[in-house]
Structure 1
């Protein structure tokens, strides 16, 4: 017995066929707990040898795998072309597509890669990475609250250093957290303070000038009272940053033990955390993404095209895995700083009038093809074997 499931947002059509391709049972189930339970019971009762489905993620696929069923992902593009096996019309029909999926599993099972859940270490790495992303959001929120507070209490401190949540900036706020303390600062006091924190001591005069030229804050008893608010925000910010650092240490240790680490750490400017982020969101289950296009589609770096008659609309893709898209686009946007091929693709997109985020998604789509190839062949990225990069490096460059 074999089965095919035509997935939809609110309901699913499941078709069970026998070894000769004859339909044994075909039903529609709702996309809820009762419906998914009914579907799994149906497949288990028929003891299906394999189930075909068009996507490799979501609650339905998770439930099928948890039930111990063998699942094969057959992309929609392949289903579309496979309809021609059974007739020339090629019309889209959920009941018919469920049969096509089941019959492809029956006839082509040896060519398909079964979908298996990610390894336990991959799931653990994903939990660590996503927790870090959540804390980064909290860090930004608290830093913004602290900045808004300081603009009223000690305006000169805001913008004094490159980042308000940088270590040197937090240390300065902790020690000179009132307008009175800032006013009492002198070059003789600030210079050794900066030196102790391995900061450029020659900037002491410049920093003092910034503090003196800034708008005045709240002085006296009122300033001392508001310093408690400053320290409260600062304490919360320090705590979140400490926990982010702790998670990053755990991420580095988990990544070092993962068998796919070499693939992702070999990518340009991937580092440790970004490599772990990519690995965690892509996963280790090769069967989930049988083509690079299927990975790109879930990552939302390909446009959504709608066409009817002479009308064709190309729009931003919303129904995606946002965790995956953020990971891929974060990597792609930074890769252009060290990889000439990536920089060239980005600049070409910008020259065509694309905004930064759109250009990054275009670059991410190109990178996914490379990453998918490395991932499916268990091969680290090697710039010397990246044909497009080498062609760019060896091609004659235009002269001014």
Structure 2
């Protein structure tokens, strides 16, 4: 199937177009007529009164369409609520479009607002109006991205703790499977210096592990041997001083882990209530967080991606081809939605552990000499074609209807057919 795409009318309303260059404290606005001449410009503050002035200026000039560089935020919300069509032109495109009007290519907010307005006038056939996602999708996207940011902070703090321990108390590094695991944090809270760890014997360590509910993944004698063979850490007053740093990092790390869990629970609740949850939770090993990230980064506006190729390109899963004369290169697609690519490749990389078709496709790519990231992008592109059709048809993924998977699972049956 092929989804219909939202398009702009051949001519803008009242033969005028607007452009808004978004900034932190104020926004430059430009209005261009049908001949490409700027008929009005102003700068509005990022306040309630400033946004009200923005709408008033656009209405005075009869502007019904505005080009802007980002698809969300208070300015976009204000424009949409005022009934003005919003068209998003990415910053990379604006950077390249500046050369139309001069060779200097200097960055200037007021000039960029004019470039946005004039591009909306001249390149209408290649632009599409912004269709915002539903409030449920937007809220879930913000929760997912906030959780992702906290996970990155957790990794950074864990690395900081590891670097600190490597210099002051190396024994706990590698003692348990993960340095940020509950048992590792409990151990460092109780035995935060080399002096306290020296008190331990295999028997005492076994008793302490039992008291904190350690599941027994490693023998206490092996753990004690790890502590005694590791390089010795600081002792005495120096160790006490360093222990304060250890506890500070542990406190930050524990807070991050607790808040990540809180957001994970919130994501699960929001995903359950979402109308498209059945599509993305049906994918192999999508779980809760992966399914929510895929849903929110793709969105719920079907017209945004009229073809699966459009979705694959924006996700950075399709290669970029450059050709000049007889010279042709196919390389990595740098210009894409980084959040979408991260969500899709994260899902694709793990799907091969549960889906034989995905595992086979990934292995074929590795056999052809592609490295792991490239093979994952190849698999991600294949998955996006499947996801796009499920998404457009509002149906969950069904392995029994996946013909390539069934041919792999039942080769004799398909040969006979």
TM-score band w.r.t. shorter chain: 0.7 to 0.9
User: Which of 183, 186, 200 is the aligned partner of 2:198?
Assistant: 183
CA offset at residue 67 of structure 1? 4.5
Question: 1:343 matched to which residue of 2?
Answer: 359
Residues 248 and 30 of structure 1: CA distance in aligned 2, closer, same or farther (over 3 Å): closer
Whether 2:146 is the aligned partner of 1:151: answer: no
Q: Is residue 2:11 matched to residue 1:16?
A: yes
CA contact (8 A) 1:191 1:201 kept: no
Corresponding residue number in structure 2 for 1:226? 242
Match of 2:386 in 1: 370
Corresponding residue for 1:168? 183
227, 250, 275: which one aligns with 2:291: 275
Cα deviation for residue 227 of structure 1 reads 0.8
For residue 219 of structure 2, give the secondary structure of its aligned residue in structure 1: helix
Structure 1 pair 251/29, CA: closer, same or farther in 2 (3 Å)? Answer: closer
Cα pair 2:31 2:61 within 8 Å, conserved: no
List aligned pairs for 1:1-400, cutoff 5 A.
16=11, 25=15, 34=28, 41=58, 45=62, 65-69=80-84, 98=123, 100=125, 116-195=131-210, 196-200=212-216, 203-395=219-411
**How far apart, CA to CA, are the structure 2 residues paired with 1:394 and 1:64?**
55
Count of residues paired in the alignment: 348
Contact 1:194 1:201 in 2 (8 A): no
Residues in 2 aligned to 1:321 and 1:47: alpha-carbon distance in whole angstroms: 28
Q: 1:158-212 deviations in whole A, cap 9, x for unaligned?
A: 0111110111111111111111111111122221322342421761111111111
Cα offset, 1:116, TM superposition: 3.0
1:62 CA displacement: 7.4
Seen in structure 2, the aligned counterparts of structure 1 residues 180 and 99 have a Cα distance that, compared at 3 Å, is closer
Deviating more after overlay: 37-46 vs 317-326: 37-46
1:336–1:314: structure 2 CA closer, same or farther, 3 Å change rule?
Answer: same
- Unpaired runs of 5+ residues, structure 2, are 1-5, 34-54, 89-118
Q: Normalised by the size of structure 1, how large is the TM-score? A: 0.77
Pick closer, same or farther for the CA change 1:69–1:29 going to 2, 3 Å: closer
Q: CA deviation at 1:46?
A: 7.8
2:115 is aligned to: none
Q: 1:321 to 1:36 in 2, by over 3 A?
A: farther
SS of 1:318's equivalent in the other structure is coil
Give RMSD over aligned pairs: 3.4
Is this contact kept in 2: 1:15–1:25, CA < 8 A?
no
1:98 positional shift: 3.6
**8 Å contact from structure 1 (residues 255, 276) kept in 2:** yes
Alpha carbons of 1:234 and 1:61: their partners in 2 closer, same or farther (altered >3 Å)? closer
With over 3 angstroms needed to count, the CA separation of the structure-2 counterparts of 1:358 and 1:57, relative to structure 1, is: farther
Secondary structure of the 1:381 match is: coil
1:350-373 deviations in whole A, cap 9, x for unaligned?
Answer: 111111111111111111111111
Find the aligned partners of 2:77 and 2:287 in 1 and give their Cα distance.
31
What is residue 112 of structure 2 aligned with on the other side? none
Gaps of 5+ in 1: 6-13, 19-23, 74-93, 106-113
Measured in 2, the distance between the counterparts of 1:35 and 1:277 equals 34
CA gap of 1:168–1:235, structure 2 versus 1, over 3 A, is same
Question: More displaced, 356-365 or 301-310?
Answer: 301-310
